[in-house]
Chains A and B, each alone.
Chain A
Amino acid sequence: MFPRLYLKHLLYSFSVLLLLVATLFLSRSYIEKVVEDPLQTVFISLVIIIVFFSYIIYLLLTYNTRFDLEIWNATKKVALSKEQFKRLYENAPVPYLLLNKNAEIHDPNKAALRFFGVLPEEIDGKNIFSYISGEDRGPAERLFQYYKSGMPINRKEVDMVTKKGDIRSVQLSVFETGLAMIFDITEQKRLDKAKTEFVSLASHQLKSPLATTKWLTEMLTSADFGELSPKQQEYIDKLHDANEDMVDLVNVLLNVSRIEMGSLFVDMKVTNVEELSESVLHELSFLINKKGIRINRKYHGLLKNIRSDPKLLRIVIQNLISNALKYTPEGGTVTITFEEVAGERRIKVSDTGLGIPKSQQDQVFTKLFRADNIRGLVDNQGTGLGLYLVKSVVGVIGGSISFVSEENKGSTFTITL
């Protein structure tokens, strides 16, 4: 195939030649007249030959020059992109290193030198995997073997030690070409730890006095140090209940902050949902009996062995059942149904309660939502965080939640896992 440049040049030359022949053809009468004189014939022929050859020489000369110019331009572009690449490699904020087939480092970029705190000659030729810290050389050795077998290493989380002896948590990637990239996540990990520790500290500081109050009131009511009068007993019981409510509230607040900070720990294991539901009903039996609410269990022997986080799933079930009981008038019914349809597992909690007004149904899962029709209730002690927490937790354990509700008829909340 002709290079584009070459083809262009040929066409160009050809058209000029055509022009020359055409000119000769048109001026043939004049030529016929002058050829009578042999001297003039020689002179004109000479002129034509000179013009023709000068043109050929001109073409040859310009041909080379133009071709060279194109080549020069192309080379310049390549050089420039190579130069740009080199500058990018050198000045990238991420440590890059090149490795030979024995994983020995050459051409580390500036960020890599900064990361390890070394001069180029101090790191040149060292095995990159020797910088992985830890007494146990097993993991580093395994990664080295992995590299030697030609497999890429993709964001492997390891600890690397710098010249000063600092240990940094990094994600190490090594591509087939021998390009290694170190992504420092030490700061990210420190922040994650700080967030978790903050919630733990808050949890400790808030719950410690509540635990003390709980046990002090229990000590008072236990009659170990003498009986209380019925009225005193009643007040202590109220104090105890208020304290328990506070414990629940603190737990909800802590779980909400854990979810919002992304530090909620999920522990998936074999979970018996029937057992969870029963333990929640047992915990709420006082309220169930007090309001004379009928509990309709439709477990169908399902969901006894699913993979989930029992602690988190319990929070979900506890909130849904407790809401159903709270907003169902005396003598009503709460139904708990388990279903398994086409691989989807569903937990449904239905009540014959107050329902949620249509106009507010799109806000149900927002934080601090309180429906208008429950504001006047005597024991309206909700925090407005329950369903927000439920939705967030369901999301964390990989499920979804939906509901249908009609005012004064009841609501059905469905968890799909």
Chain B
Amino acid sequence: MANLENKKKVLIIDDNNNLVTVLVDKFNVSGFEAVGAFSGQEGLKKALELHPDIILLDLVMPEMGGLEMLKQLRLDPWGKQAKVMVLSVLDEPTYVANAMDSNVVGYIVKTDFSLDGVVKQIKTILGVS
């Protein structure tokens, strides 16, 4: 068992419950401590409470969308520097450009990545082997 303190915290925000569940499970078995949130508001609350090492953020969610949540997050002193990876099925360049303007570490098009691919990407960003 890896040391609990060394485990990197991942927060997954997506309004699709099944997707959050499978990602949380995958990250947990891959040596992370993963937490899920099912809306923008819940995600924002959990992010400011838990200070995760990285946030996986969906863009299209009812009420508070990903970019709106990101704007709120950036107002917080901790949130200003928080690492955020966008996770969306939208692949139009305008969406990618909009997200990249909000200072995110990357943009994953869900249908283009395998589950292992996502974990690998996050490990690279966080410097975990």
Binding site for B on A (CB under 8 A): 196, 200, 203-204, 207-208, 210-212, 214-216, 218-219, 222, 224-225, 247, 251, 265, 267, 311
Residue B16 at the A interface, CB < 8 A? yes
Query: B112-127 CB contact bits vs A (8 Å, 1 = yes)?
Result: 0011100000000000
Cβ–Cβ contact B116 & A218, under 8 A: yes
Chain B contact residues: helix, strand, loop or mixed: helix
Return the CB mask of B55-93 against A: 1 if under 8 Å, else 0.
000001000000000000000000000000000011111
- CB-based contact B111/A207 at 8 Å: yes
Query: With an 8 A cutoff between CB atoms, is B29 at the interface?
Result: yes
Which chain A residues border B23 with CB–CB below 8 Å?
215
A204 to B15, CA, bound (A): 12
Residues of B within 8 A of A311 (CB): 93
A212 touches B60 (CB 8 A): no
Chain A residues, CB < 8 A from B92: 196, 200, 203, 265
- The residue on A at minimum CB distance from B112 is A247
Minimum CB–CB distance from A312 to chain B (whole Å) comes to 11
Is A210 touching B25 in the complex (CB atoms < 8 A)? no
Q: Is A215 within 8 A of B90, CB to CB?
A: no
Name the interface residues of B1-50: CB closer than 8 Å to any CB of A: 16, 18-19, 22-23, 25-26, 29
Alpha-carbon gap, A247 to B89, bound state (A): 11
A204, A210, A211, A267 — most chain B CB neighbours (10 Å): A211
A212 touches B16 (CB 8 A): yes
Interface CB pairs A-B, < 8 A, 19: A200-B90, A203-B89, A203-B91, A208-B19, A211-B111, A212-B16, A212-B19, A214-B110, A214-B114, A215-B23, A215-B110, A215-B115, A216-B22, A218-B115, A222-B26, A224-B25, A224-B26, A224-B29, A265-B94
Residues of B with Cβ closer than 8 Å to A? Answer: 16, 18-19, 22-23, 25-26, 29, 60, 89-95, 110-111, 114-116
Name the distance in Å between A258's Cβ and chain B's nearest Cβ: 9
The reply to whether A216 and B18 contact each other, CB–CB distance below 8 Å, is yes
Say yes or no: B90 contacts A212, CB within 8 Å. no
Q: Which residue of A lies closest to B58 (CB)?
A: A208
Instruction: From the candidates A222, A225, A247, A265, name the one contacting B116 in the complex (CB within 8 A).
Output: A222
A203 to B26, CA, bound (A): 26
Residues of B within 8 A of A207 (CB): 89, 110-111
Taking CB atoms, residues of chain B closer than 8 Å to A203 are 89-92
- Using Cβ atoms and an 8 Å threshold, which residues of chain B touch A208? 16, 19, 89, 110
Find out whether the CB atom of A247 lies under 8 angstroms from the CB atom of B111.
yes
Q: Which residue of A196, A200, A212, A219 contacts B25 across the interface (Cβ within 8 Å)?
A: A219
- Report whether A219 and B115 are in contact in the complex, using a CB–CB cutoff of 8 Å: yes
The answer to whether A222 touches B115 (Cβ under 8 A) is yes
Measured between beta carbons, the chain A residues less than 8 angstroms from B26 are 215, 219, 222, 224
A212: which B residues are within 8 A, CB to CB?
A: 16, 18-19, 22
Contact between B90 and A204, CB atoms less than 8 A apart: yes
Q: How far is the CB of B89 from chain A (nearest CB, A)?
A: 4
Using Cβ atoms and an 8 Å threshold, which residues of chain B touch A222?
Answer: 26, 115-116
Nearest A residue to B89, CB-CB = A207
Question: Given A210-B111, A211-B110, A219-B22, 11 other A-B contacts at CB below 8 A?
Answer: A200-B95, A203-B91, A207-B89, A208-B19, A212-B18, A212-B22, A214-B110, A214-B115, A218-B116, A224-B29, A251-B111
What is the bound-complex CA distance between A82 and B18, given in angstroms?
73
**Inside 8 A of B93's CB, which chain A residues have their CB?**
265, 267, 311
Given contacts A204-B89, A204-B90, A222-B116, contact A211 B25 (CB under 8 A): no
- Nearest-neighbour CB distance to chain A for B9, whole angstroms, equals 20
Contacts of B29 in A (CB 8 A): 224-225
Selected contact of A211 from candidates B19, B60, B95, B116, CB within 8 Å = B19
Q: Which residues of A contact B60 (CB under 8 A)?
A: 204
- Looking at the assembled complex, report how far the CB atom of A29 sits from the nearest CB atom of chain B, in whole angstroms: 108
Q: Is the CB of A218 within 8 A of B114?
A: yes
Docked pose: A212 CA to B20 CA in angstroms:
9
Most chain B CB within 10 A, of A214, A265, A267, is at A214
